[in-house]
């Protein structure tokens, strides 16, 4: 099977050099058998990764794809070396395309270059691969940092003491976001960063780090929060400390569903809500690296295999939800999200840390069920 597909590809490549006649025959032949697509993801012990993987699987299972794509998933753990090795092995196993969450944007370059040289399409989601032959699907991380920081400055009227929680140090995503945000804060001399900690993009770490900061400070000493992940936890901690929902600090942060539900006006009827996973009317801006990017990457890879034009770099629109645009979904179908809803019922999404930015105009194949259990839309 793989040998056959290799032959097809060699034949096609050779024919491309000779003339256009063969170029027509390539997609026609490729339709006969499924594309062999691999997903190389990073650390599976993380809600975002699991969700993104579910959406890739759902995309592959959608009726428009199911008879075209044979998807295999591999996890590289947090180890870039292992991912290099896995991608090599995927190339050897006769991959037509490799969808990858790159653990390191640079370490994969040479292996990706080799994969490209063998005619494999490599497409990265969320983080980028810098080698020019790779395709990338991601948001503009600097924009994410800038927009959220500007929102916070505006909320505070350019004045106040804030706490900053960054992501995983040493990653491009964290560095770009934090740098862009700090540039914004630097323009406003009355904004003081009074505490800064490493949040590791984890709600659990957020609580530990905020507890450390609050060991020597009161909530009342702080005016605002810029957290890459953790507004949900920060709000919960404020409630525990005796604040009323009306007194919650403005918080710029991630797109966790718990945080989204907290943004809903107090008194909203929400099935399954229990404090702090409940409507609080929290002043928030919620953004995210959307987990649908993996699914979209797969779709683009198949488009490319079908012979369509795909841009090398797809910059996704930054999914921003503020307290003004928050809206509850009842079922979470793609159509319902298209109509503007962006938070999900706690009775369906039990885990408040679950990432809610799953809607894209480009991916009508996948909705809430895709992200939760890997089931595509009908």
**Which tokens in the block code for residue 208?**
């530990």
Binding mask 217-256 for another protein (x = CB under 8 A): x---------------x--xx--x----------------
Residue 329 has φ and ψ, to the nearest 5°, of -90, 145
Nearest in space to 293 (alpha carbons), one of 79, 135, 119: 135
Q: How many residues bind another protein (CB under 8 A)?
A: 86
Q: For residues 40 and 74, what is the distance between their CA atoms, to the nearest angstrom?
A: 5
**Which tokens in the block code for residue 125?**
């989601």
Window 271 to 300, contacts with another protein (CB under 8 A): 274, 276-277
Tokens 């490599």 appear where?
Answer: 122
Greatest pairwise CA separation for the chain in angstroms? 75
Please choose, out of 25-33, 166-174, 329-337, 359-367, the segment that lies near another protein by the rule CB under 8 A: 166-174
Q: Based on the number of CB atoms within 10 Å of its own CB, is 137 exposed (0-12), middle (13-18) or buried (19 or more)?
A: buried
Window 346 to 365, contacts with another protein (CB under 8 A): 350-354
Nearer to another protein, 68 or 182 (CB): 182
Window 183 to 222, contacts with another protein (CB under 8 A): 193-198, 200, 202-205, 207-209, 211-217
Closest approach of another protein to the CB of residue 85, in Å:
4
Nearer to another protein, 47 or 362 (CB): 47
Backbone region of residue 111 per phi and psi (left: phi > 0; alpha: psi in -120 to 50; beta: other values): alpha
Nearer to another protein, 3 or 18 (CB): 3
Q: For residues 92 and 9, what is the distance between their CA atoms, to the nearest angstrom?
A: 14
Residue 54 binds to another protein (criterion: CB under 8 A) = yes
Residue 77 binds to another protein (criterion: CB under 8 A) = yes
Window 79 to 138, contacts with another protein (CB under 8 A): 79-82, 84-86, 88-90, 92-94, 104-110, 114, 130
């Amino acid at each position: 099977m793989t040998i056959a597909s290799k032959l097809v590809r060699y034949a096609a490549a050779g024919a491309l050099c000779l003339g256009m006649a063969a170029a027509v025959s390539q997609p026609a032949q490729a339709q006969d058998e499924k594309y062999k697509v691999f997903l190389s993801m990073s650390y599976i012990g993380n809600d975002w990764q699991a969700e993104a993987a579910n959406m890739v699987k759902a995309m592959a299972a959608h009726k428009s794809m199911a008879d075209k794509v044979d998807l295999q998933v591999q996890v590289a753990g947090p180890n870039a070396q292992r991912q290099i090795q896995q991608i090599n092995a995927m190339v050897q196993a006769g991959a037509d395309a490799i969808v990858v969450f790159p653990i390191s944007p640079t370490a994969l370059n040479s292996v990706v270059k080799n994969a490209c040289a063998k005619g494999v399409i490599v497409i990265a989601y969320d983080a980028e691969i810098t080698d020019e032959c790779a395709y990338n699907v991601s948001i503009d991380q600097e924009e994410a940092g800038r927009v959220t920081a500007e929102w916070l400055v505006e909320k505070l009227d350019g004045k106040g003491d804030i706490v900053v929680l960054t992501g995983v140090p040493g990653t491009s995503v964290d560095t770009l976001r934090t740098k862009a945000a700090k540039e914004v804060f630097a323009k406003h001399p009355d904004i003081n960063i009074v505490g800064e900690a490493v949040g590791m993009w984890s709600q659990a770490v957020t609580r530990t780090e905020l507890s450390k900061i609050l060991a020597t400070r009161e909530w009342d000493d702080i005016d605002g929060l810029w957290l890459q992940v953790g507004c949900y936890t920060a709000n919960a901690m404020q409630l525990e400390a005796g604040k009323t929902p009306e007194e919650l600090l403005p918080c710029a942060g991630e797109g966790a569903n718990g945080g989204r539900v907290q943004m809903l006006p107090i008194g909203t009827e929400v099935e399954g809500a229990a404090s702090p996973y409940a409507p609080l009317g929290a002043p928030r801006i919620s953004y995210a690296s959307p987990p649908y990017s993996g699914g979209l990457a797969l779709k683009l890879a198949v488009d490319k295999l079908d012979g369509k034009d795909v841009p090398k770099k797809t910059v996704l629109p930054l999914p921003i939800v503020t307290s003004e645009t928050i809206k509850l979904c009842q079922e979470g179908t793609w159509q319902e999200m298209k109509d503007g809803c962006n938070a999900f019922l706690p009775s369906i999404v039990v885990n408040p840390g679950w990432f809610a930015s799953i809607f894209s105009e480009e991916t009508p194949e996948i909705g809430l069920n895709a992200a939760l259990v890997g089931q595509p839309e009908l």
